[in-house]
């Protein structure tokens, strides 16, 4: 059996990984609480890996508060860069392969084109910069790594855009939703599945990969789909990003090309709306709002 250690198991992706592992009968999963898996504690990480001896480590721990990061740059840098470096170093010391999750926010997003892994990364906010620095740290510390950039992550777990829209849609008659930022939603259950596919392939095709669901949409059209699928009776109005200013700038267009991950691991990726339907069904079934 392949032993897998999940860092940041209490977050959205960590919970999805545990759900998918259960569905797929993957039993050799270790998901310690944050106190035992603090990525800022290098000696603690080394002790954890020495004790558990995992073959794979999945890093779901990250500072993801995009706007707050503008005021807490030091904390974001510590978690997203230093923490990633600490974990990669521990993996190197204990012969473990690291799967590290990154973001489309490493891109400037000012050009309408599908973004490939070799495109120049040029973040326009602190969060994106710290995630890019984390990618570089992982590459510098450890050869046996898979870095997966994803986008617009949501699920039935934790706080995310889908659950926020469902809550607000139930409370209000109208909502203004940004229509001039374009990307691709990613159902975290789908991302968890591809992570386990990579592990079970036992591939050594290490490096950087892009993964999101298939298709392209705006936040406005994403919200419209959420309301249609959930039969939520609320009027969604398209607004420009300038009408809803945020502390951190967002990429205007950050649709990633997934050809590399599809070809390398011979996978098919679900269309974003189909995955959204599956998520909303899970939310309805489990009452996870």
pLDDT tens sequence across 240-250: 999 989 999 99
pLDDT > 80? residue 139: yes
CA distances (Å), 97 to each of 63, 145, 174, 202, 203, in order? 22, 6, 47, 10, 11
Tell me the domains of the chain and their CATH numbers. Answer: 4-158+184-214+252-270 (3.40.50.720)
pLDDT of residue 288: 58
**Could you say which of 127, 157, 209, 211 is catalytic?**
127
The least confident of 83-87, 156-160, 282-286 is 282-286
Tokens, residue 280: 């909303």
Rounded-to-integer distance, Cα 223 and Cα 212, Å:
17
Q: Is 220 exposed, middle or buried (0-12, 13-18, 19+ CB in 10 A)?
A: buried
| Helix axis angle, 272-286 to 219-230, nearest 10° | 50
Which residue bears the tokens 């558990």? 52
Position 136 pLDDT exceeds 70: yes
Rounded distance, CA 258 to CA 244, Å?
30
Instruction: List CB contacts of 23: < 8 A, sequence separation 6 or more.
Output: none
Residue 63: both structure tokens together? 């500072």
The pair of three-digit structure tokens given for residue 289, joined into one six-digit string: 């709002």
| Active-site residue, 220 included | no
**Mean pLDDT on 149-173:** 97
Please tell me the distance from the alpha carbon of residue 179 to that of residue 26, in angstroms, as a whole number.
40
- Rounded distance, CA 252 to CA 260, Å? 23
What's the confidence (pLDDT) of residue 87?
A: 98
* Kind of pairing between the strands at 182-183 and 217-218: antiparallel
From residue 249, alpha-carbon distances to 56, 104, 130 in Å are 34, 13, 14
Extended beta strands in 78-225, E state: 97-103, 145-150, 153-154, 174-178, 182-183, 186-187, 207-210, 217-218
Say if residue 118's pLDDT is above 80: yes
Q: How many CB atoms lie within 10 A of CB 32?
A: 16
Per-residue pLDDT averaged across 213-231, rounded? Answer: 98
What are the backbone dihedrals phi and psi of residue 193, each rounded to the nearest 5 degrees, phi first? Answer: -60, -45
Using DSSP, state whether 121 is helix, strand or coil. coil
Count of beta carbons in the 10 Å neighbourhood of residue 188: 28
Starting at the edge strand found earlier in the chain, the sheet holding 97-103 runs 29-30, 4-7, 56-59, 97-103, 145-150, 207-210
Which pTM does this prediction carry?
A: 0.97
Across the strands, what pairs with 59? 7, 100
Under DSSP, is residue 71 helix (H, G, I), strand (E, B) or coil?
A: coil
Percent residues over pLDDT 70 in the chain: 99
pLDDT at position 81 is 98
Does the structure show a pLDDT above 90 at 179? yes
286 has a pLDDT exceeding 90? no
């Amino acid at each position: 059996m392949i032993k897998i250690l999940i860092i940041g198991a209490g977050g959205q992706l960590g919970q999805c990984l545990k759900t998918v592992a259960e569905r797929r009968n993957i039993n050799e999963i270790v998901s310690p609480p944050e106190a035992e898996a603090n990525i800022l504690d290098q000696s603690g990480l080394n002790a954890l890996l020495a004790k558990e001896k995992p073959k794979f480590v999945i890093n779901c721990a990250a500072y993801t508060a995009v706007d707050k990061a503008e005021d807490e740059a030091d904390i974001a840098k510590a978690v997203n860069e230093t923490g990633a470096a600490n974990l990669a170093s521990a993996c190197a010391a204990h012969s473990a392969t690291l799967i590290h999750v990154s973001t489309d926010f490493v891109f400037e997003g000012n050009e309408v084109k599908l973004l490939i892994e070799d495109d120049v990364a040029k973040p326009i906010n602190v969060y994106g910069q710290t995630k890019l620095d984390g990618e570089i740290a992982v590459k510098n510390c450890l050869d046996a790594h898979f870095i997966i950039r994803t986008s617009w992550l949501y699920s039935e777990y934790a706080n995310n855009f889908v659950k926020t829209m469902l809550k607000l849609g139930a409370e209000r008659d109208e909502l203004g939703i940004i229509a001039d930022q374009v990307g691709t939603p990613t159902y975290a259950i789908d991302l968890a599945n591809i992570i386990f596919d990579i592990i079970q392939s036992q591939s050594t095709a290490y490096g950087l990969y892009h993964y999101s669901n298939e298709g392209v949409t705006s936040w406005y059209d994403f919200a419209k789909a959420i309301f249609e699928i959930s039969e939520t009776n609320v009027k969604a109005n398209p607004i420009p990003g300038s009408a809803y200013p945020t502390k951190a700038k967002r990429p205007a267009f950050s649709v990633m090309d997934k050809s590399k991950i599809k070809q390398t691991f011979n996978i098919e990726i679900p269309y974003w709306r189909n995955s959204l339907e599956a998520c909303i069904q899970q939310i309805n079934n489990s009452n996870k709002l």
